[in-house]
Amino acid sequence: MTERIEVIQGDITRQTVDAIVNAANTTLLGGGGVDGAIHAAAGPELLAACRTLEGCATGEAKITRGYRLSAPWVIHTVGPIWRGGGHDEDVLLARCYQNCFLLAVRHEITTIAFPAISTGVYRFPLERAAIIAVKETRRFLESRLAMRKVVFVCFNGATLDGYRKVLAERPQGKAS
Ligand code: APR
């Protein structure tokens, strides 16, 4: 199953996959970071489409076309802002991945790329976020053979090292 998980350093807007995931905010009207990069690459139609979605709650996900992106779909999800760990941040981040996968199944998406959701402006600790991302992805891939590839696209070396470290650890409770 781990052969269906990849981790690379790069720009998510340049990935040739069925869907790229955007780490958005609750307005879905764009922002900085990966949100800004995706809107810049997709063009103004993406913002026009997002305007019709009436926002997105933290932990939820909504889908649009990719417009000028090479990816035909963009799945917008809103990660939790880190506030110390006592405000359901772990649960909400896990829900982001679960809801992105739900939309992927509904739209027959078989290759998907994720940024390190919430680990930038939202200050979620990187390794803690990577553990959640990998755990939810492994759990999804166990039951969904149609999903051919999940790529974690890391924008810098520190993020790449964090994801690689987490991926190298055996899944909890698995025989060695
Ligand atoms: N490709 C891949 N990853 C990227 C890219 C890119 N082009 N640009 C930034 N990143 C990385 C960041 O380096 C970080 O590791 O995405 C990760 C998430 O960081 P943010 O984009 O800051 O997202 P997040 O922490 O979830 O905060 C969301 O930031 O941009 C605003 O509108 C957005 O308000 C929302 C908030």
Write down the domain spans for the chain.
2-168
Mutation test residue for ligand 1: of 34, 74, 151, 152, the one with most atoms within 8 Å of CB: 34
Q: How far is the CA of 32 from the centre of ligand 1 (A)?
A: 7
Pairing of strands 19-23, 73-77: parallel
CATH value of 2-168 in 2.60.120.620, 3.40.220.10, 3.30.420.110, 3.40.1260.10: 3.40.220.10
Strands (E), 11-51: 19-23
pLDDT tens profile 17-41: 999 999 999 999 999 999 999 999 9
pLDDT, tens only, 64-122: 999 999 999 999 999 999 999 999 999 999 999 999 999 999 999 999 999 999 999 99
> Counting every residue, how long is the chain?
176
Q: Report residues whose beta carbon is within 6 angstroms of any ligand 1 atom.
A: 11-13, 23-25, 31-37, 79, 115-122, 153, 155-156, 159
pLDDT for 171 equals 74
CB 152, CB 133: distance < 8 Å: yes
35 catalytic? Reply is yes
pTM of the model: 0.97
* Residue 172: CB atoms within 10 Å: 8
pLDDT score of 147 more than 60: yes
